[in-house]
């Protein structure tokens, strides 16, 4: 059995930096959701997220990789979280050679019950919803405990009805990203087209829209963008809806896979959208969320702005273009490396191994190393806007005040030979960590 410590002892220990504090609750609780009726949501400042469920969900090699990524080599680890999870978590850490583990006996709820104890949370965590919240919503309950709004739940992917037809969350409509962006340029549709498409989907300015995608679809061809990018598609849709002016856009953390892991059923029954005659939108209500090529050039030239490449290292240094339909290789000259992941369809460096969002502290720390900070005007770009939309959504959830997506991305920039490009490893850059 691990040694137990009180809340006061925990406070004294972490104030002296004598331990690594690990929060073993689900990511949603760490982000701010009060999942078990705790008085306040959020996490103890300085704590690192490692949900106890990961010990059962992942194989040994994956657990070792996560422990290494999070730097759990301290001789003094304190576990906090929900009290009935702590002994199980301690046993999990012990199995991987971390023996000097203590547990916070009354857990995070006790800390949260004391108003003078500080808590941190993802500023806009309510827009990154979890499975229990969605289950309550679908059961006709009021998970936000506020005035209920009409809502639309949408299963999102690109140009593949079969992805929806193979099984979706009950009540979800099908949302094809082609209704939001052009298949020719991959930029968002003009205002008039967007408004009509949203009206056809039953989405108004005041509709709460909940989006999700399938993390991976083994039945799709290897080179189809939707094979691995269903959840990326939901991020792309979220960004465009926010740009249009939909006031309450949410994404299911972990996508369809999180719903299935929780033991919930899916259906093959098609749900027809309930179209509306008017959306109440004046598109775009948030033009600042998207920049085009002229402003992208201004951001590169500015001293208080950054254009951030959300492409893989191989794309960034010009070894590959990233897409079968994009010929030119290289990067936008002056763009900062944002380190998305392995290729054009993955965002490993922004997600946990269960495809939930990385701890926002970890994302922010990585960005800070590259000079990407919230005091600057930041625009993310990738090939055609999908990966950039996920980075945008993360930054927006974190409360960053001045973030956008360069919609044209590498596809548009590289099509004009007058636009400056570069390749190779930049000076003083050792590559992705």
382 is catalytic: yes
Two structure tokens written together for 2: 């691990």
Q: Where are the alpha helices (H) located in 114-269, listed in sequence order?
A: 131-138, 161-165, 191-201, 230-244, 255-261
Size of the chain, expressed as the number of residues it contains: 433
Q: Are 296 and 413 in contact (CB under 8 A)?
A: yes
Please pick, among 180, 382, 394, 395, the residue that the annotation labels catalytic: 382
Q: Are 259 and 169 in contact (CB under 8 A)?
A: yes
Two structure tokens written together for 268: 């093959």
Distance CA 146, CA 219 (A): 40
Contacts of 137-140 with C-beta under 8 Å, sequence gap 24+, read 137/210, 138/169, 138/170, 138/171
Give residue for tokens 């002994």: 87
Q: Which residues contact 279 (CB under 8 A, 6 or more apart)?
A: 195, 198, 199, 203, 204, 205
249 burial class (0-12, 13-18, 19+ CB within 10 angstroms)? buried
Q: Which residues contact 363 (CB under 8 A, 6 or more apart)?
A: 350, 394, 398
Give residue for tokens 């008085």: 39
Distance CA 419, CA 272 (A): 44
- Among positive and negative, which fits the CA dihedral 69, 25, 362, 360? positive
Known catalytic residues are 382
């Amino acid at each position: 059995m691990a040694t137990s410590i009180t809340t006061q002892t925990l406070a004294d220990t972490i104030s002296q930096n004598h331990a690594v504090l690990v929060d073993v609750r689900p990511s949603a609780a760490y982000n701010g959701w009060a999942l078990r009726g705790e008085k306040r949501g959020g996490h103890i400042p300085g704590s690192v997220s490692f949900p106890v469920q990961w010990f059962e969900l992942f194989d040994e090699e994956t657990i070792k990789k996560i422990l290494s990524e999070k730097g759990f080599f301290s001789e003094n680890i304190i576990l906090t979280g929900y009290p009935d999870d702590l002994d199980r978590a301690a046993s999990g850490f012990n199995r991987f050679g971390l023996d000097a583990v203590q547990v916070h006996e009354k857990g995070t709820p006790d800390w949260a019950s004391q108003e003078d104890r500080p808590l941190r949370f993802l500023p806009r965590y309510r827009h990154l919803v979890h499975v229990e919240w969605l289950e309550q919503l679908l059961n006709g309950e009021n998970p936000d405990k506020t005035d209920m709004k009409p809502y639309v739940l949408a299963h999102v992917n690109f140009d593949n009805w079969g992805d929806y037809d193979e099984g979706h969350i009950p009540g979800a409509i099908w949302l094809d990203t082609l209704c939001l962006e052009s298949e020719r340029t991959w930029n968002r549709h003009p205002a008039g087209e967007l408004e009509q498409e949203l009206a056809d989907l039953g989405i108004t300015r005041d509709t709460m829209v909940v989006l999700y995608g399938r993390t991976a679809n083994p039945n799709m061809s290897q080179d189809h963008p939707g094979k691995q990018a269903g959840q990326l598609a939901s991020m792309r849709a979220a960004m465009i809806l926010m740009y249009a002016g939909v006031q309450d856009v949410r994404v299911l953390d972990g996508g369809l896979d999180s719903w299935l892991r929780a033991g919930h059923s899916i259906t093959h029954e098609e749900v027809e959208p309930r179209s509306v005659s008017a959306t109440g939108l004046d598109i775009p209500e948030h033009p600042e969320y998207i920049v085009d090529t002229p402003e992208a050039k201004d951001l590169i030239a500015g001293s208080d702005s950054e254009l951030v490449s959300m492409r893989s290292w191989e794309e960034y240094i010009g070894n590959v273009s990233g897409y079968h339909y994009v010929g030119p290789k290289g990067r936008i000259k002056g763009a900062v490396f944002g380190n998305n992941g392995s290729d054009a369809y993955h965002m490993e460096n922004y997600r946990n191994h269960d495809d939930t969002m990385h701890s926002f502290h970890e994302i922010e720390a990585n960005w800070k190393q590259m000079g990407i900070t919230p005091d600057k005007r930041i625009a993310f770009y990738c090939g055609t806007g999908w990966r950039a939309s996920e980075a945008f959504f993360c930054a927006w959830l974190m409360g960053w005040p001045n973030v956008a997506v360069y919609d044209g991305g590498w596809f548009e920039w590289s099509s004009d030979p007058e636009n400056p490009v570069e390749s190779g490893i930049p000076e003083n850059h050792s590559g992705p960590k």
